[in-house]
Structure 1
Amino acid sequence: MTGTTALAGASEAPAEAPEMTIGGEHAEPVPAALSALPGKRALFAVDSYFRDGWDDLMATAPDPWTLLDVHATVLLTPDAVAGRRLEAALDWLLAQDAVVVAAEALRLDRHSTRALWWYQWNVATREHRALTDLLATAGESLLLVARLPRAPIPATLRISQRKGSADPSRRERWQLRHLLAGLGEPVSGLVTFAHTADEPADLVREFGILLDGPDRRRVYADLVAGRDRETEARALIADLYRRTPADDLSRTAARERAELGTPAGPWDGVVLGGAAATPCLSDKAPLVTGVTTAQWEHLKAQPWRPLRFDRTLPYRLVHKAGPAGVLLTDQVAAPDGAVLLAGELPTAHRYLNDVPRSGSGLDLAPILELAGQSAYVLAHAHHGAPDDARFALRGLRAALVPGACAHRRVRIEATVTEARRDGLDLAFGFFGLDEGADGVPLATATLSFSWMSESAWQAERLEGRARHGLGAEIGVPDMSGTFPSARAVGRSHDDNVVLADPLWRPGTMTARVVVDPANPGLFDQPQDHVPGVALMEAARQAALWATSRHLALPAGQLAVIVLDSGHPGVGELDTALSCTARIVADRGGKVAVAVSFAQDGIEVCAVTAEVVRA
């Protein structure tokens, strides 16, 4: 973090002015993606309004970076309400190719006005501050939050530049303030009707000022949902007009009333005072200045912001019951359309680290888990999958890079190969970061899935269960059988064994799949079916057991390096699930195994595995 502020008494010489540097020992740095101004980032880092807004954003938004990049605010102040400029401002905003996603009626006070302009009002005259208080507290304000299309420059700066200057002589005809001022008699520079956040950092800080915690989180949730709220905004405008007397904000009429000694409410004082007041001290500079497009273009030319590993993504985003199961720590949309994600692999997970063989080799299980969590992030945060959507896995393939070693920190590069209205096909690259910033290739994966509403899922489930002669109520799974030792299927803990009653005939193994819904590694939360991760684990264990018999080697000396699956059906928990694993090729130590899972003769999953000597 950079930035220096000098605090000096009025009588002190500049050379004697004490300085204070704001650094990492004071607060977590503000990411550069939020502001192109280093000084602003330094000041905001220790600003409690910014920190409140940022903490709530991080807790609410799956992808805060993209959300901030495409959203902007317009705060229409009480002069716009009394002067009946709200509809014109809304229409102008919509004409900027914007979608209004939130609208809030607010009341400002002297504290919120000082907070909003805290870093500019060090140059404001006392008269200007008092008149602004009079204007801001004269009635209610309207906060509009709009989503704009993605662009190299953040939506906040685009709207701020189109808003226009506080100085009427510096406005362009196409700017918002010029439009609103032109709807009546020319008004003073104090009556500007609209305020906007300049940069993403300002949006976050102003949410911290204007909204209390519950309202702030609710509005952030509205931004995430992205629903068009134009109708609600127009209804709110009508309510504001009903409870706010109109005023023409006429300087001429205000003068006449002043001469007669009959001033009208606060507005005559605002209109006449604003025309005569000196707004700022000409020999002083604000702590934070405006920002330009050129500064943002320079910022965008810098390397993409580093991924963070200091906290996990929200657990609900990746469909986990709590933070303990979350492997992903960050995600950001890259300029080329890819999504970059960060993850940390566990070191003592009961399932993901349950590998008996010695050495530093990587296992496929955590790669499959990272792919699944990343898929949820892309679906919800980037492609509009509803929070309550149900997901169906269609296909999953993961392959380890030969000789890949386990890394603690991992970067995932995710690209969409096909996007459908209700599903995605994804491709992943996994890179270990323990040996350098560039990353060591670890694995690749592809994943295909779809999502649907709860009602559609239940209808599909009922139809599937009917094919097995089952009703809607899910029975108790059959946990009986003779289980192989954990080491015989490449595990250390017996409770992770999912195969029972294995039989070997040369080239073919048969078994039953027995999954325990109480196993947190396979059932992080309650499920009404056999999860895809459990079927992939069963295929892994079956391939190791069969190859161990085929090569007459202990399973601990083997490794599954590829799993390639298709999922035409859903595995039921309360009816027998059979597994057949056939050796289909042996190419000098690389064994291909075809694994099929079926219930009542209906195939629910087919997997091809490649097994090599570890």
Structure 2
Amino acid sequence: MTVEQPLTAPAAVLDRAAADRAAGLEFGRTIDRSLVHRAALEEVFVTDFRSLAPDRFRAGGRLPLAHPYYTDDVALSRRYDALAVFECVRQTLLCALHLHHRVADEAKAVTASTGLRVADPAALEARPGGHELELDGSVLVEKQRDGALGRVVHRVEVRSAGRLVGDVTVDTAVLNAAAYGQLRMKERDTVAPSSAALAERQEPSALPAALFGRQNPDNVLLRSVRVDGCAAQAGMRLPLSHSSLFDHPQDHLPGTALLEAARQLALLLAGEVFGRWPARTVLLALDARYHRFAELDQPLTIEARYVEAGPRSFTEPIAVVFRQSGRDVAEVTLRLTGAEPGAASALPQPARGSRADDGRERS
């Protein structure tokens, strides 16, 4: 006769689990993927969500340890990606719309502006347990429209093992399906095509992935790059079959793709002007504003330049503008820093906030 003994976890695991429970967060599994608008289970990074007060909530998240997009880098993933942290916050805010603000399932979240600040780049260095995040959210602005949430501004502080990583602020308009449809047709003569219908037209980039700190060419979002002094121009490659950026069909280019494209062009510019190696250059901050939807059936161009003429350091702000059909689609201002030991991390708080009805990025 065989008697099965209960499995006993190592003491370190039990201690950490007890600490998690004391903090009110669980990290053992992810939440329902529908709450964060993801189709693939492996794209869900949020593990827990708790409403604490009308203007406060808390969430747990896990950064992926191995991922075809977020851990694809020539530095062999010795650091967690700041945009992976941003994605974890973005998913947390989608969850907050449903569980904290009680927004209807069919509502559309349209981002007007967003800001990311990495307070401590060293906090993103890979270390045991460093991929588990505590996300403390607050509601800065909440406005009703016709009896339902119409606009909300959130700020989320991100910590890893109690250590402040940084914060994210997002200004979001919330629309019902009819209002969203009207907004989409405001600047179009035809219904916007779905990414699923256009995926076969996708063309790979001919640019070496290493120019952008990547290994996988599928993660390169730029093409036809031209550098002129302290400025650079590129065409935007539409990664319509990308498993993360297009986890599910979209009728526009998502804002997360624009942020990555802006980072890639900024890395290229820093390399051309200052000889920076992308593997030793990381994102420190960004401030993005979305003016209109980035359409899938029109060419999109990107321009990047250092904000100040004659920059003395690669760490100075870089302004990136996305243009389509002669109009600005989005603006992103980024700051980079070095990933070398002892790299400076001092950063002034980026300006944030804009009118919610200016934005055109839907989750």
TM over 0.5: yes
Counterpart position of 1:381 = 99
- SS of structure 1 residue aligned to 2:251: coil
Q: Pick 1 or 2: higher relative contact order, CA cutoff 8 A, min separation 6.
A: 2
Aligned: 1:476 with 2:195: no
Question: Residue 598 of structure 1 corresponds to which residue in structure 2?
Answer: 323
Match of 2:165 among 410, 417, 442: 442
Is 1:367–2:92 an aligned residue pair?
no
Task: Indicate whether 1:425 and 2:153 are aligned.
Answer: yes
Query: Is the Cα contact below 8 Å between 2:319 and 2:333 reproduced in 1?
Result: yes
Give the direction of change, closer, same or farther, for the CA distance of 1:334–1:481 in structure 2 (3 Å limit): closer
Match of 2:358 in 1: none
Report how many aligned residue pairs link the two structures: 307
Greater gyration radius: 1
- Indicate the RMSD between aligned Cα atoms, in angstroms: 2.2
Question: 1:381-407, CA deviations, whole angstroms, 9 ceiling, x for partnerless residues?
Answer: 111211011121111111212322242
- Which aligned pairs between 1:131-146 and structure 2 lie closer than 5 A? none
* Contact 1:579–1:597 (Cα < 8 Å) also in 2: yes
- Give the drift of 1:465: 2.4
Within a 5 Å distance, the mapping from 1:63-462 to structure 2 comes to 306-335=24-53, 337-357=55-75, 360-402=78-120, 403-406=122-125, 407-421=130-144, 422-433=150-161, 439-462=162-185
Q: How far apart are the structure 1 equivalents of 2:219 and 2:94? A: 25
Contact kept? 1:399, 1:561, Cα under 8 Å: yes
Alpha-carbon separation, structure 2, partners of 1:414 and 1:473:
35
CA distance in 1, matches of 2:203, 2:142: 43
Structure 2 Cα separation of the partners of residues 423 and 531 of structure 1: 19
Note the C-alpha offset of 1:542.
0.9
Equivalent residues of 1:528, 1:573 under 8 A apart: yes
CA distance in 1, matches of 2:204, 2:33: 35
Q: Kindly indicate whether the alpha-carbon contact (under 8 Å) linking 1:304 and 1:334 is maintained by their aligned counterparts in 2.
A: no
Given that 1:490 and 1:556 are in contact with CA atoms closer than 8 Å, whether structure 2 keeps it comes out as yes
Distance 2:319 2:117 in 1: 16
1:528 aligns with 2:251: yes
Q: 3-state DSSP class of the match of 1:450?
A: strand
Give the C-alpha shift of residue 550 in structure 1. 1.0
How big is each residue's C-alpha offset from its partner over 1:269-312, in whole Å with a ceiling of 9 and x where there is no partner?
xxxxxxxxxxxxxxxxxxxxxxxxxxxxxxxxxx9652111121
The letter of the residue matching 1:415 is: S
Q: Unmatched 5+ residue regions in structure 1?
A: 1-23, 26-302, 434-438
Instruction: Tell me what 1:613 maps to.
Output: 338
Q: Structure 1 or 2: larger helix share?
A: 1
Q: CA 1:582/1:431 → structure 2, altered by over 3 Å: closer, same or farther?
A: same
Runs of 4+ in 1 over 6 A off after TM superposition: none
How far the C-alpha of 1:569 sits from its partner, in A, is 0.7
Equivalent residue for 1:507, pick from 227, 230, 235: 230
Structure number having the greater strand percentage: 2
Structure 2 SS opposite 1:379: helix
Report the Cα offset of residue 377 of structure 1: 1.3
How far is 1:367 from its partner? Answer: 1.3
The 3-state SS of whatever aligns with 1:383 is coil
2: distance between equivalents of 1:315 and 1:359? Answer: 25
Cα pair 2:205 2:221 within 8 Å, conserved = no
- Deviation of 1:480 after TM superposition, in Å, equals 4.3
> Does structure 1 retain, via aligned residues, the 8 Å contact 2:118–2:284?
yes
Within 1, Cα distance between the matches of 2:69 and 2:205? 21
Return the alpha-carbon distance in structure 2 between the equivalents of residues 319 and 423 of structure 1: 19
**C-alpha deviation, 1:491, in angstroms:** 1.6
**What is the rounded CA distance, in whole Å, between the counterparts of 1:473 and 1:513 in structure 2?**
18
Aligned to 1:494: 217
- SS of 1:385's partner is coil
Distance in 1 between the 2:304 and 2:73 partners?
21
TM-score w.r.t. the length of structure 2 is 0.79
Gaps of 5+ in 2: 1-5, 8-20, 145-149, 340-363
How far residue 370 of structure 1 moved from its aligned partner, in angstroms, is: 1.0
